[in-house]
């Protein structure tokens, strides 16, 4: 397992994508810090960038990596190696690379110019979203032999969770504005990892006070131990569930 993980990481580093991605995030973070000295504004700016870019990069890169290494995967499956080890080594290599790029690209500027709790949570959310969308990408990849179709499914999931889902939620809130929607809205947030990560970061900023009664309800909920436990459990499920299904499909796939 460790040897397979080492080879997978070496292959990723050989492509230089990790260096380019890390440097890209580093430039973004430095630019934002140069614009404003207010850590709250820095957190908000980096959050908006992270929420859109990180899931997209994770989805596209994970799908591309799987198909680029398909011959190596088939070769390993012909050896006396368990399928779960082959799958997890590729998945962990992608997640580890994406996570390190975020921690280094955003983390180094934070060490230089400072960071608050919002920025630290931002790093955690970035790592979680990378793992979630890498799982989606691997699930799409093991379910079809067509690379273009797998990339299309990964992009469709990114569009749905990052853009379409919010529109549907806003429509429901507008349609049922006369009813108390705090708890249903909370349930809808838990059903979207992107929204859940966004809310967790917003609750660390004073901007949550501008969200009215719903914002006050979210702030009270997520500031409690129970709220953090539920939010953490929901994010963990979003990481484990698609990867678990992908592993099951991978174990039965005829290469």
Between CA 185 and CA 101 the distance in angstroms is 33
Give residues with Cβ within 8 angstroms of 220, minimum separation 6: 227
- Residue 254 — very low, low, confident or very high, per pLDDT cuts 50/70/90? low
Nearest to 200 by CA among 233, 173, 177, 155: 233
pLDDT at 207: 54
pLDDT single digits (tens) 20-74: 999 999 999 999 888 877 777 888 888 888 888 999 999 999 999 999 888 888 8
Which tokens sit at 31?
A: 């630019």
Q: Which residues contact 154 (CB under 8 A, 6 or more apart)?
A: 59, 60, 62, 63, 133, 136, 137, 140
**What is the C-alpha to C-alpha distance for residues 205 and 176, in angstroms, rounded to an integer?**
28
How many angstroms separate the CA atoms of 123 and 42, rounded? 13
| pLDDT at residue 210, rounded to an integer | 44
- The tally of domains found in the chain comes to 1
Q: What is the pLDDT of residues 68-79, one digit of tens each?
A: 888 888 888 788
Domain assignment of residue 165, given as a range:
2-252
Round to whole Å and give the CA distance between 191 and 174: 19
Find, among 94, 93, 92, 90, the residue nearest to 74 by Cα. Answer: 90
Ramachandran quadrant class, 9 (left: phi over 0; alpha: psi -120 to 50; beta: rest): alpha
Cβ burial of 152 (10 Å; 0-12, 13-18, 19+) is middle
Looking at residue 119, its pLDDT comes to 79
pLDDT (tens digit, 9 = 90+) per residue, 107-162?
Answer: 898 888 877 777 788 889 999 999 999 999 999 999 888 888 999 999 999 999 98
**Does pLDDT of 164 surpass 60?**
yes
CA 238 from centroid of its chain's CA atoms: 10
Residue 212 pLDDT > 60, yes or no? no
């Amino acid at each position: 397992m460790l040897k397979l993980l080492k080879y997978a990481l070496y292959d990723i580093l050989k492509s230089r994508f990790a260096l380019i991605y890390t440097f890209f995030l580093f430039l973004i973070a430095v630019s934002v810090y140069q614009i404003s000295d207010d850590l709250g504004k820095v957190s908000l700016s980096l959050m908006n960038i992270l929420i859109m870019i990180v899931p997209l990069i994770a989805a596209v890169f994970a799908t591309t990596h799987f198909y680029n290494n398909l011959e190596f995967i088939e070769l390993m499956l012909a050896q006396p190696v368990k399928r779960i080890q082959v799958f997890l080594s590729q998945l962990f290599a992608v997640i580890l690379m994406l996570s390190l790029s975020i921690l280094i690209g955003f983390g180094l500027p934070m060490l230089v110019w400072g960071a608050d709790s919002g920025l630290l949570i931002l790093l955690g959310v970035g790592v979680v979203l990378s793992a979630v969308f890498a799982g989606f990408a691997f699930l799409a990849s093991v379910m079809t032999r067509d690379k273009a179709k797998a990339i299309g499914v990964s992009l469709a999931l990114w569009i749905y969770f990052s853009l379409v889902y919010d529109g549907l939620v806003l429509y429901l809130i507008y349609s049922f504005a006369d009813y108390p929607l705090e708890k249903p809205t909370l349930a809808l947030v838990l059903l979207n990892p992107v929204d859940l990560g966004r809310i967790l970061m917003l609750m660390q900023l004073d901007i949550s006070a501008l969200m009215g009664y719903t914002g006050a309800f979210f702030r009270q909920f997520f500031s409690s131990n129970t709220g953090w436990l539920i939010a953490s459990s929901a994010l963990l499920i979003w990481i484990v569930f698609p990867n678990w299904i992908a592993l099951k499909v991978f174990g039965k796939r005829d290469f």
